[in-house]
C-alpha cells in the first residue's frame, strides 16, 4: 500500500480526527472554482502582473458569484506565474504546475490546523510572488508522517510560534495576509500536503516544472482529502 492509499484509509477510518482549515459551512457556503490556465480569456498577463488589478478581479468574481471562498490549483498548469521571475530559470523549463490548493478569501480570514500536530518550521519567504509568511506543521497519523503547509499568511501569524510547539485540531494558527505582506498576491491561502519535507524548513516548492509532475505528485497528496471541498457546491 502506497502513502496516498495509507492517508486515504486513515481519513476514512478516523473522520473525527480531521478538522477544518477555514470556516467553511457546507450548508450555506458555495465555492467559486477559479481557472488560472491559458484557457481563461478574462485574465491578461498585464492584469495579473499588477497586484491591485489582480486582487480587484478576484474580489469581483467572489462578489458577483456570492461566494465567500474561491478555490483551485491542485496540479493545475498555470500561466499566471509568468508574473514573477521566481518561477523562471534561464534556459530551462519554467515552473508552472501548481502543487497545492488555493483558497481565495478576504485578508484576515482565520486559518486552522486540521489535524493534531506540532510546528515543524516557519519563516517569511519575502520575495515578490513567493509565499510570504509560511507555517509548516508536522503530523503523525498512526505512523504515517504528514506535513501541512500554509502560505500567504499575515506577518503576525508567525509572531507567536516556536518549533516543536503542539497544535490541536481546529486550533487557529494563522490568518490570511494582505497583498503587502503575503508575497504580493490577492489574499488567499496556499494549502499543501507533503509526506516528506526532504530536508527543507520553512519552505517547500508549491510550483514545479510540468515535466516533474510525477516526482512531486508522489510526495504531495490531494489536499481535498483534508479539505473535503469536492462534496460542497462548486460553481
Task: Render 130-182 in DSSP notation, one character per residue.
Answer: S-EEEEEEEEEETTEEEEEEEESB-GGGGTT--TT-EE-TT-EEEEBPPTTTT
Determine what percent of the chain is predicted with pLDDT higher than 70: 94
pLDDT of residue 27: 80
> Which domains, ranges and CATH numbers included, belong to the chain?
3-234 (2.70.70.10)
- With bands split at pLDDT 50, 70 and 90, how would you rate the model's confidence at 233? confident
pLDDT of residue 89: 53
pLDDT of residue 188: 97
pLDDT, tens only, 78-115:
766 665 555 555 567 777 899 999 999 999 999 999 99
Residue 75 cell numbers, joined: 496540479
Residue 147 cell numbers, joined: 506535513
Q: Is the pLDDT of residue 147 over 90?
A: yes
pTM (two decimals)? 0.93
Amino acid at each position: 500500500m502506497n502513502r496516498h492509499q495509507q492517508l486515504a484509509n486513515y481519513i476514512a477510518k478516523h473522520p473525527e480526527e480531521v478538522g477544518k482549515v477555514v470556516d467553511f459551512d457546507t450548508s450555506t457556503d458555495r465555492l467559486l472554482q477559479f481557472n488560472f490556465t491559458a484557457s481563461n480569456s478574462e485574465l491578461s498577463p498585464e492584469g495579473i502582473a499588477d497586484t491591485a488589478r489582480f486582487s480587484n478581479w478576484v474580489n469581483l468574481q467572489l462578489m458577483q458569484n456570492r461566494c465567500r471562498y474561491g478555490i483551485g490549483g491542485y496540479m493545475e498548469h498555470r500561466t499566471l506565474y509568468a508574473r514573477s521571475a521566481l518561477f523562471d530559470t534561464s534556459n530551462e523549463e519554467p515552473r508552472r504546475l501548481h502543487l497545492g490548493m488555493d483558497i481565495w478569501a478576504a485578508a484576515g480570514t482565520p486559518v486552522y490546523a486540521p489535524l493534531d500536530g506540532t510546528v515543524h518550521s516557519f519563516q517569511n519567504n519575502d520575495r515578490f510572488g513567493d509565499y510570504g509568511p509560511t507555517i509548516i506543521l508536522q503530523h503523525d497519523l498512526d505512523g504515517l508522517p504528514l506535513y501541512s503547509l500554509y502560505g500567504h499568511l499575515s506577518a503576525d501569524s508567525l509572531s507567536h510560534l516556536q518549533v516543536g510547539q503542539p497544535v490541536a485540531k481546529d486550533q487557529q494558527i494563522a490568518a490570511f495576509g494582505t497583498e503587502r505582506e503575503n508575497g504580493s498576491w490577492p489574499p488567499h491561502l496556499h494549502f499543501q500536503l507533503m509526506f516528506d519535507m526532504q530536508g527543507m524548513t520553512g519552505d517547500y516548492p508549491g510550483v514545479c516544472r510540468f515535466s516533474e509532475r510525477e516526482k512531486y505528485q508522489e510526495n504531495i497528496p490531494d489536499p481535498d482529502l483534508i479539505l473535503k471541498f469536492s462534496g460542497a457546491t462548486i460553481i
